């Protein structure tokens, strides 16, 4: 996708895509789906941190980013991103690049660079998103992917101790999705919906909204869905950004200066799960399997659950302490922390332990 040089407001950018969709989209059918990736930014200079070696051009309220092709000649194809700041801290990246190229460019950078991350929807929020699309259109789901960890709190009638993944395609996919949720405890993470005779939508809990055609209906659904969840996801970002650890020095009479640690911690509440030694062991196993965090300096108190450890985010370089009891996990910043580390840890707990877990400031 490539737009002519100019100055675009947010509204003018959308209008141009609607009027010239056939012209700006590449000829390859796989590249003609318009994709919008939602990204949370913690106030970093994202243009420099994400695209220091790329061609970045300001087009009014829209930023154009042209990704340089890699060494592989097959990479020499559409890699442009058009970035809109929808709200402070919420960026929308529009592109027609296919998933494989996104993963090698923007996706890889979002996983590694501090102060920015892809938007993640908790199981409760993601349910709200896709049900909104169906309610607004009376469309239907025709394809989905659902997962379950071996210790998820989601009800499972059959063999609840197994990790699972289901991929399904069929016009009865919505009914199957609900049946699998009830029987096997799997929760949707990606789905395709046919919302009109000529419009298919793809939605994931990782912040992707994709439409087969650039139509007014597609943009209306996308921005309506974003507005539906904006306050909640930005609230999660603000809570995570608010966690701090700093040492301040105060003068003291006749004795010298005294140092005081000022800490604002976070808490993951677990309304539907009761942590015990077994579930905690499974949570640590899943954390290790995902590969982002290392858990060190563990201490467990026998009897009623009392667990503490230091967690290292190997991707973002942040360090924080955790302290767990039966119904909550306390997160205490320690060194070089960044908001997305806390969101990623909360995501693991939510997807593995309690799908209705909430993340709040500890008071």
Tell me if 220 is assigned to some domain. Answer: no
Is 127 in the same domain as 96?
no
Query: 240 by DSSP, 3-state: which?
Result: helix
Q: What is the mean pLDDT of residues 314-337?
A: 93
Tell me how far apart the alpha carbons of residues 124 and 44 are, in angstroms, rounded to a whole number.
29
CA distances from 147 to 24, 334, 352 (A): 36, 33, 10
> 66, 98, 116 — which closes off a domain?
116
> 98, 116, 134 — which closes off a domain?
116
Is 14 in the same domain as 102?
yes
> 90, 116, 142 — which closes off a domain?
116
Is 20 in the same domain as 65?
yes
Is 306 in the same domain as 344?
yes
Residue 90 Ramachandran class (φ > 0 left, ψ -120 to 50 alpha, else beta): beta
pLDDT tens string 240-271: 999 998 766 767 655 666 666 688 999 999 98
Q: What is the mean pLDDT of residues 301-320?
A: 86
> Has residue 285 got a pLDDT over 60?
yes
As a whole number, the mean pLDDT across the chain is 87
DSSP one-letter string for 33-49: SEEEEEEEE-S--HHHH
Is 29 in the same domain as 76?
yes
Contact 214, 34 (CB under 8 A): yes
Give the number of domains in the chain: 3
In the block, which residue shows the tokens 């394809």?
A: 143
User: How far is the first Cα of the chain from the last one, in angstroms, to the nearest whole number?
Assistant: 48
Tell me if 85 is assigned to some domain. Answer: yes
Tell me how far apart the alpha carbons of residues 305 and 312 are, in angstroms, rounded to a whole number.
22
Q: What is the mean pLDDT of residues 43-50?
A: 89
pLDDT tens string 35-45: 999 999 998 89
Is 133 in the same domain as 149?
yes
Is 38 in the same domain as 127?
no
| Residue 278 confidence (pLDDT) | 80
Contact 41, 89 (CB under 8 A): yes
Tell me how far apart the alpha carbons of residues 125 and 152 are, in angstroms, rounded to a whole number.
17
pLDDT tens string 197-239: 889 999 999 999 999 888 899 999 999 999 999 999 999 999 9
Is 249 in the same domain as 347?
yes
> Has residue 154 got a pLDDT over 60?
no
What are 137's two structure tokens? Answer: 């259109």
Tell me if 266 is assigned to some domain. Answer: yes
Find the domain containing 297 and state its range: 242-361
CATH at residue 357: 3.30.310
């Amino acid at each position: 996708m490539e737009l002519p040089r100019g100055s675009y407001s947010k509204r003018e950018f959308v209008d141009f895509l609607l009027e010239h969709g056939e012209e700006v989209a590449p000829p390859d059918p796989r590249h003609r789906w318009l994709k919008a990736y939602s990204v949370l930014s913690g106030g970093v200079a994202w243009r420099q941190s994400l695209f220091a070696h790329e061609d970045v051009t300001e087009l009014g309220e829209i930023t154009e980013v042209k990704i340089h092709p890699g060494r592989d000649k097959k990479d020499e194809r559409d890699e442009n991103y058009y970035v809109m700041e929808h709200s402070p801290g919420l960026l929308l990246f529009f592109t027609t690049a296919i998933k494989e190229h996104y993963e090698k460019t923007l996706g890889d950078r979002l996983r590694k660079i501090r102060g920015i991350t892809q938007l993640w929807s908790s199981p409760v929020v993601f349910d709200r998103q896709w049900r909104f699309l169906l309610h607004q259109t009376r469309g239907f789901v025709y394809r989905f992917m659902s997962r379950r960890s071996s210790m998820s709190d989601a009800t499972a009638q059959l063999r609840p101790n197994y990790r699972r993944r289901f991929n399904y395609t069929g016009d009865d996919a919505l009914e199957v999705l609900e049946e699998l949720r009830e029987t096997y405890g799997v929760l949707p993470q990606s789905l395709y919906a046919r919302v009109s005779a000529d419009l298919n939508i793809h939605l994931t809990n990782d912040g992707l909204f994709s439409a087969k055609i650039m139509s007014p209906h597609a943009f209306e659904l996308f921005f309506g869905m974003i507005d539906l969840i904006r306050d909640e996801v930005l609230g999660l970002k603000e809570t995570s950004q608010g966690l701090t650890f700093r040492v301040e020095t105060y003068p003291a009479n006749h004795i010298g200066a005294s140092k005081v640690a000022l800490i604002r911690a976070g808490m993951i509440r677990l309304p539907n799960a009761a942590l015990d030694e077994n579930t905690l062991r499974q949570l640590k196993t899943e954390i290790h399997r995902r590969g982002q965090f290392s858990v060190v300096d563990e201490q467990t108190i026998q009897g009623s659950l009392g667990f503490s450890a230091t967690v290292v985010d190997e991707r973002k370089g942040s360090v924080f302490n955790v302290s767990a009891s039966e119904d909550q996990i306390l997160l205490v910043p320690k060194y070089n922390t960044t908001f997305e580390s806390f969101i990623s840890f909360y995501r693991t707990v939510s997807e593995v332990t309690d799908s209705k877990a909430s993340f709040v400031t500890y008071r």
